Amino acid sequence: MEILVCVKRVPDTSENEIEINSEGNDIERDDLVYSVNEWDNYAVEEAIQIVDKVGGSVTVVTIGDDESEEVLRREMAMGAENGILLSDDAFEGSDGKGVATILKGAVEKGKYDLILTGAQADAGFAQIGGMLAAMLDYPYASLVNMVEVGDGKLKVGREIEGGNQEVNEIELPCVLSIQTGINEPRYVGIRGIRKVASVEIPTYGASDLGIDANSVGESGAKVKRLDYFVPEMGEGAEMLEGSTEEIIGKIIELLKSKGGLK
């Protein structure tokens, strides 16, 4: 099975203090520490486990500049055989549709049975997988936390509201957005990183992908960010003390006072 996994280089929130830039339309990105998007890491691990069972290969793809190569090499050290970098000045400022358009071009340059994305990336819209599937006219499942491979089909489990699990059968080729917790991503050691350090990673621009540069990037974006801010802190939580019965009584009184109970 040939699997393509879409990955992204994002700020590592555990290593950075996130601040808003002076224009108020993004975070301050100078001197940030970056890493692979957490959801994408689970998607790569799932792809590797599938190939270990049924054979094939895993390719990781990302949109970015030369520095994004480190994310590709990290996932290749994890076990992906190939990496593809999609880089072009025309890609700067792409909205969700633009990103999906660029990835569609990469999918169509290869022959893949399965395309995986993380459930969401740092912007948090959780839209790329669905948009990409729609553009390819492939079946799609989101929030996938279980994959079983069958004959030309997959059985996938989805996390839905109320902590319930939904199981579907989906035909290949398809697009899946992978939820965290589906597996335990393997550790990547220095030896693995060194092993792939010199592997050639092809770079494709808009013309290589057959994309009109005006349909992506800032010029093609239909969604533009107007503002970016940190909400003001509230007064904080009220800590209730006393026995269990006393705390229950206080909660009931609070709910009544706020209109939650009559």
Residue 93, C-beta contacts closer than 8 angstroms, at least 6 positions apart: 217, 218, 219, 221
> Beta strands 174-178 and 57-63: pairing type?
unpaired
pLDDT tens-digit map of 123-152: 778 999 999 999 999 999 999 999 999 999
Structure tokens at 158: 């989805």
The Cα 17–Cα 15 span in angstroms is 7
**71 vs 24, 55, 232, CA distance in Å?**
28, 24, 34
Q: Can you say how many angstroms the Cα of residue 124 is from the centroid of all Cα atoms in its chain?
A: 9
Tally Cβ neighbours within 10 Å of residue 162: 4
Neighbours of 90 (CB within 10 A): 22
Neighbour tally for 105: CB within 10 Å: 19
User: What confidence tens digit (pLDDT) does each residue in 112-124 have?
Assistant: 999 999 998 867 7
CB 56 within 8 A of CB 173: no
pLDDT band at 33 (very low <50, low <70, confident <90, very high): confident
Q: What is the pLDDT of residues 42-86, one digit of tens each?
A: 999 999 999 999 999 999 999 999 999 999 999 999 999 999 999
Single-letter code of the amino acid located at 172: L
Report the distance separating Cα 81 and Cα 103, nearest Å.
19
pLDDT beyond 90 at 178: yes
CA dist 48 and 80 (Å) reads: 7
Predicted model pTM: 0.86
The band of 232, judged by pLDDT with boundaries at 50, 70 and 90, is confident
Return d(Cα 133, Cα 175) in angstroms, integer: 6
Query: Which residues pair with residue 3 across a beta bridge?
Result: 58, 114
What mean pLDDT do residues 19-37 have? 85
Measured CA to CA in angstroms, residue 177 lies from 1, 103, 168, 256 at distances of: 18, 14, 14, 42
pLDDT digits (tens, 9 = 90+) for 186-218: 999 889 989 999 999 999 999 999 999 999 999
Give the whole-angstrom CA distance, residue 133 versus residue 245.
Answer: 53
Residue-range domains of the chain with CATH? 2-220 (3.40.50.620)
Q: Which of 209, 4, 216 is nearest to 97 (CA)?
A: 216
